[in-house]
Protein backbone atom coordinates (compact mmCIF):
# COMPACT_ATOMS: atom_id res chain seq x y z
CA UNK A 1 0.00 0.00 0.00
CA UNK A 2 1.39 3.40 -0.88
CA UNK A 3 1.04 6.57 1.13
CA UNK A 4 -1.56 9.01 -0.07
CA UNK A 5 -0.04 12.18 -1.43
CA UNK A 6 -1.92 15.35 -0.55
CA UNK A 7 -2.31 18.08 -3.12
CA UNK A 8 -1.52 21.52 -1.88
CA UNK A 9 -3.63 24.29 -3.33
CA UNK A 10 -3.18 28.00 -2.91
CA UNK A 11 -5.86 29.61 -0.73
CA UNK A 12 -8.79 31.19 -2.54
CA UNK A 13 -9.29 34.90 -2.15
CA UNK A 14 -13.03 35.43 -2.16
CA UNK A 15 -13.39 38.10 0.49
CA UNK A 16 -14.38 41.01 -1.78
CA UNK A 17 -17.96 39.78 -2.30
CA UNK A 18 -18.35 39.00 1.37
CA UNK A 19 -17.55 42.58 2.33
CA UNK A 20 -20.72 43.67 0.59
CA UNK A 21 -22.78 40.88 2.13
CA UNK A 22 -22.93 38.92 -1.12
CA UNK A 23 -22.08 35.33 -1.88
CA UNK A 24 -18.60 35.08 -3.38
CA UNK A 25 -18.04 32.37 -5.99
CA UNK A 26 -14.51 31.04 -6.35
CA UNK A 27 -14.85 28.88 -9.47
CA UNK A 28 -17.21 28.05 -12.30
CA UNK A 29 -18.25 24.83 -14.00
CA UNK A 30 -19.70 24.28 -17.45
CA UNK A 31 -23.00 22.46 -17.93
CA UNK A 32 -21.09 19.62 -19.62
CA UNK A 33 -18.87 19.31 -16.55
CA UNK A 34 -21.90 19.23 -14.24
CA UNK A 35 -23.54 16.56 -16.44
CA UNK A 36 -20.33 14.50 -16.48
CA UNK A 37 -19.99 14.79 -12.70
CA UNK A 38 -23.62 13.70 -12.24
CA UNK A 39 -23.12 10.72 -14.58
CA UNK A 40 -19.95 9.61 -12.78
CA UNK A 41 -21.50 9.91 -9.32
CA UNK A 42 -24.55 7.92 -10.43
CA UNK A 43 -22.25 5.23 -11.86
CA UNK A 44 -20.28 5.01 -8.61
CA UNK A 45 -23.47 4.90 -6.57
CA UNK A 46 -25.14 2.21 -8.73
CA UNK A 47 -22.08 -0.04 -8.79
CA UNK A 48 -21.52 0.41 -5.05
CA UNK A 49 -25.16 -0.51 -4.40
CA UNK A 50 -24.72 -3.67 -6.47
CA UNK A 51 -21.67 -4.70 -4.46
CA UNK A 52 -23.42 -3.93 -1.16
CA UNK A 53 -26.66 -5.75 -2.03
CA UNK A 54 -24.99 -8.86 -3.40
CA UNK A 55 -22.28 -8.99 -0.72
CA UNK A 56 -20.10 -10.77 -3.25
CA UNK A 57 -21.82 -14.12 -2.64
CA UNK A 58 -24.14 -14.15 -5.64
CA UNK A 59 -21.71 -12.47 -8.03
CA UNK A 60 -19.61 -14.26 -10.60
CA UNK A 61 -15.87 -14.31 -9.84
CA UNK A 62 -15.15 -11.70 -12.53
CA UNK A 63 -18.16 -9.50 -11.68
CA UNK A 64 -16.89 -8.22 -8.34
CA UNK A 65 -13.49 -7.21 -9.73
CA UNK A 66 -15.17 -5.62 -12.77
CA UNK A 67 -17.49 -3.56 -10.54
CA UNK A 68 -14.57 -2.56 -8.33
CA UNK A 69 -12.51 -1.49 -11.32
CA UNK A 70 -15.42 0.56 -12.67
CA UNK A 71 -15.89 2.27 -9.29
CA UNK A 72 -12.16 3.04 -9.12
CA UNK A 73 -12.01 4.38 -12.69
CA UNK A 74 -15.09 6.56 -12.18
CA UNK A 75 -13.74 7.94 -8.90
CA UNK A 76 -10.42 8.76 -10.61
CA UNK A 77 -12.37 10.56 -13.37
CA UNK A 78 -14.30 12.52 -10.72
CA UNK A 79 -10.99 13.57 -9.14
CA UNK A 80 -9.70 14.82 -12.50
CA UNK A 81 -12.95 16.66 -13.18
CA UNK A 82 -12.92 18.32 -9.76
CA UNK A 83 -9.30 19.39 -10.35
CA UNK A 84 -10.26 20.86 -13.75
CA UNK A 85 -13.21 22.75 -12.23
CA UNK A 86 -11.00 24.01 -9.41
CA UNK A 87 -8.59 25.42 -12.00
CA UNK A 88 -11.41 27.44 -13.60
CA UNK A 89 -11.28 30.30 -11.14
CA UNK A 90 -13.67 33.17 -11.62
CA UNK A 91 -12.23 36.65 -11.63
CA UNK A 92 -13.84 39.81 -10.40
CA UNK A 93 -14.85 42.31 -13.10
CA UNK A 94 -11.89 44.56 -13.86
CA UNK A 95 -9.34 42.06 -12.56
CA UNK A 96 -6.63 41.45 -15.14
CA UNK A 97 -6.47 37.82 -16.29
CA UNK A 98 -3.38 35.78 -15.56
CA UNK A 99 -1.36 34.51 -18.52
How far apart CA 18 and CA 8 sit, in angstroms, is 24
Residue 31: is its pLDDT beyond 60?
yes
Predicted confidence (pLDDT) at residue 1 exceeds the cutoff of 50: no
Q: Which one of 35-39, 52-56, 88-92 scores highest in mean pLDDT?
A: 35-39
Confidence of residue 7 (pLDDT cuts 50, 70, 90): low
Q: Which pLDDT value is given to residue 12?
A: 52
Q: Exposed e or buried b for every residue in 39-65, given b needs 16+ CB within 10 A?
A: ebeebbeebeeeeeeeeeeebeeeebe
**39: left (phi > 0), else alpha (psi -120 to 50), else beta?**
alpha
DSSP state string for 20-62: TT-----B---HHHHHHHHHHHHHHHHHHHHHHHHTTTSS-HH
Report the first-to-last Cα separation within the chain, whole angstroms.
39
Can you give the pTM of this predicted structure? 0.64
Lowest-confidence pick of 19-23, 48-52, 80-84: 19-23
**CA 87 and chain centroid, separation:** 12
Amino acid sequence: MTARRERRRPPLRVTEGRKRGQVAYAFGATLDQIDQLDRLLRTISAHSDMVAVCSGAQLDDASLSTLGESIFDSAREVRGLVDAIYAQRLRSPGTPSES
